[in-house]
Amino acid sequence: MKITVVGAGAVGATCADNIARKELAEELILLDIKEGFAEGKSIDMMQTAALLGFDTKIKGVTNDYAATAGSEVVVITSGLPRKPGMTREELIGTNANIVKGVTENILKYSPDTIIIVVSNPMDTMNYLTLKTSGLPKNRILGMGGALDSSRFKYYLSQELGCSPADLNAVVIGGHGDTTMIPLIQHATWNSIPVSQLLSKEQQDKVVAATMVGGATLTGLIGTSAWYAPGAGTAAMVESIVRDEKKLISSGVYLDGEYGQKDISLVVPVIIGKNGAEKILDFKLSEAEQGAFNKSADAVRNMNAVLTD
Ligand code: NAI
């Protein structure tokens, strides 16, 4: 198994670190545009191999796409992250050019790969990758729901005093502060609906905290987060590589599911060796469907910027 991670910055390097520790690949290429940067990060990570006991060969390259040839999975994290006070949407111009160029270069050497898009604004970058690549829709996935659902579980666990790992909770919609929809009515703790365990006030607090989870961290750290984004992306890679068929909220192209067409939004997806193998298209309440449609409108407006 050969995997490439494009962008050796905070998220890309953390994702690569997770991939290596889990030994998801024999060969892992880390590519960045900044001279020597990916090489340095790769050597640093390889110098943890003896300590951590993994056998993945990590190689860093500067813009050398030939080195990525034959990658079965490619993760795209290249692009600007947001600074405090910025929205993900403000990154669109710069990142669209970067993501489009990277996708074209990747496909020259790995025409049948599965791509996971992380760069923001993710819903639009994922849609752009779908359109640029011409790959079947199951081979393009956006990372955002894995992260937002994990943040949702974190905030729920804080209110419930339980382990985040014991919770079932998903976020759908867009990967934006106002477009994501934490499905609190469907969240359970050991099969018990959390709505029966938390007051309305607590539920509202958890939902609000989840939606601004990224912005809260950007305010604290000064740039966007990387541990949970890196782990969320690696979880998606793992489900592909090990054909786990895990249900992970992910950005996928919708063709009628949830009443939407020609758009990439975050929905629960079964991820296996073929990428997005099945979209779980379950019936939302009227309020949830209304919120989903509003998110779709916002993301569609953003996608329109690509052709302006
Ligand atoms: P970073 O600035 O630490 O790393 C980005 C890297 O991309 C830099 O090393 C830069 O040199 C590289 N790069 C820029 N243009 C490139 C090109 N054309 N080819 C190859 N490499 C190129 O940023 P960070 O924190 O790693 O974030 C990366 C992206 O991921 C941002 O757009 C950020 O907003 C997004 N993000 C998305 C999340 C999600 O849930 N979808 C979560 C966290 C971040």
Per-residue pLDDT tens digits for 29-52: 999 999 999 999 999 999 999 999
Cα–Cα distance between 268 and 280 in angstroms, integer?
6
For residue 227, the model assigns a pLDDT of 98
* Dihedral, 229, 231, 236, 241 alpha carbons, nearest 10: 140
32 lines ligand 1 (CB under 6 A): yes
Identify whether the C-beta of residue 92 lies closer than 8 Å to the C-beta of residue 124: yes
Neighbour tally for 83: CB within 10 Å:
13
Identify whether the C-beta of residue 244 lies closer than 8 Å to the C-beta of residue 114: no
For residue 212, the model assigns a pLDDT of 97
Per-residue pLDDT tens digits for 115-130: 999 999 999 999 999 9
* DSSP-derived 3-state class of residue 219: helix
Model-level pTM? Answer: 0.98
Residues forming beta bridges with residue 261, ordered by sequence position: 255
Query: pLDDT below 50 — which residues of the chain?
Result: none
118 lines ligand 1 (CB under 6 A): yes
Looking at residue 196, the DSSP 8-state letter turns out to be G
Per-residue pLDDT tens digits for 159-186: 999 999 999 999 999 999 999 999 999 9
For residue 222, the model assigns a pLDDT of 95
For residue 308, the model assigns a pLDDT of 61
Looking at residue 148, the DSSP 8-state letter turns out to be H
Has the ipTM of the complex gone over 0.85? yes
* Smallest CA separation from ligand 1 atom 36, residue: 119
Residue with tokens 């249900």: 247
For residue 181, the model assigns a pLDDT of 98
Record the tokens describing residue 160, joined without a space: 């419930």
| R_g over Cα of the chain | 18
Task: List residues with catalytic annotation.
Answer: 175
Measured from the Cα of 122, ligand 1's closest atom is 41
81 lines ligand 1 (CB under 6 A): yes
